[in-house]
Amino acid sequence: MAWWRFLRPSGVQQLDVANAHSVELTKRHPVISLTKQGAAVGNMRVNLSWSMRTSDTGGWTADRPGFLRRQLELFRPQVVQAAGPAMVNVDLDLACLYELADGTKGVVQPLGNFLGDLDQPPYIQMSGDDRFGSGSGETLFINFDQREKFKRLLVFVYIYDGTPAFDRTHAKVEIFPGSGPRIEIPLTEREPQARSCAVVLIENNKGELTVRREVKYVYGFQAEIDRLYGWGLQWGRGYKTKV
């Protein structure tokens, strides 16, 4: 699918416009209907990207770096200034809890290599694991040609290494539907002790697919997100292979 299809303007109402080709879900306007926008088709792309906060980097804004610096950053782990002289690496992970129409429940996430499948259940797939906050970030694909198979999807973000750092990173989730404007959900609240954040809830209500902004920070990990939304899965400790 051509990349410019994600940038077509749409007559979205009751939403905060981030620019001519995107809308931002906010506390004031938290919901958008993909069905009413004609966007509940094809493969929807969900992207997580993050960087250091400007206040922690002496004024450098990582969202708009120069070309040369952006290329160099692809090969260097992203670090965040901790309180005092210590530096910490930040490894944010994008994940998705799913509940299908037939009652099947599960998770798609880098941890445990649960990367999913786009062409068969759960019709959700991770592109891989970005451990350093590179320009491309982490991407999740959802196959909305199988939209009738979905009941609800919860997209969430967690900090793999356990170091609370949401207050020192500038994270953003962007959703690129099959048509219409992209949808932005900034994670800008300063929650210094949070380790996870429920970002958006995608629900199929009698055939209408909606995206609702959640942005609920929790102090635990997947199991606490699960309890908050009543998924009912069993969780165990997991690790990533070293790189």
In this prediction, residues 196-218 reach a mean pLDDT of: 96
More confident site: 102 or 18 = 102
pLDDT at 50: 82
Least confident of 43-47, 61-65, 143-147, 170-174: 61-65
Percent of the chain topping pLDDT 70: 67
- Residue given tokens 């099959």 in the structure block: 178
pLDDT at 111: 85
Split at pLDDT 50, 70, 90, the class of 242 is low
pLDDT at 54: 52
pLDDT at 69: 52
Q: Is the pLDDT of residue 58 over 90?
A: no
Split at pLDDT 50, 70, 90, the class of 89 is low
Contacts within 8 Å (CB) and 24+ apart, 63-71: 63/170, 70/135
Split at pLDDT 50, 70, 90, the class of 133 is very low
Q: Is the pLDDT of residue 202 over 60?
A: yes
User: Counting beta carbons within 10 angstroms of the beta carbon of residue 185, is it exposed (0 to 12), middle (13 to 18) or buried (19 or more)?
Assistant: buried
Split at pLDDT 50, 70, 90, the class of 61 is very low
Query: Average per-residue pLDDT in the chain?
Result: 77
Q: How far apart are CA 208 and CA 204, in angstroms?
A: 5
Split at pLDDT 50, 70, 90, the class of 47 is very high
User: Counting beta carbons within 10 angstroms of the beta carbon of residue 143, is it exposed (0 to 12), middle (13 to 18) or buried (19 or more)?
Assistant: buried
Domains in the chain: ranges and CATH: 15-57+77-229 (2.60.60.30)
Split at pLDDT 50, 70, 90, the class of 238 is low
Do 45 and 140 meet the contact criterion of CB atoms below 8 Å apart?
A: yes
SS3 letters for the chain? CCHHHHHCCCCCCCCEEEECCEEECCCCCCEEECCCCCCCCCEEEEEEEEEECHHHCCCCCCCCCCHHHHHHHCCCCCEEECCCCCEEECCEEEEEEEEECCCCEEEEECHHHECEECCCCCCEEECCCCCCCCCCCEEEEEEHHHHHHEEEEEEEEEECCCCCCHHHEEEEEEEECCCCCEEEEEECCCCCCCCEEEEEEEEEECCEEEEEEEEEEECCCHHHHHHHHCCCCCCCCCCCCCC
What are 86's two structure tokens? 């210590």
More confident site: 174 or 11 = 174
Q: Is the pLDDT of residue 156 over 80?
A: yes
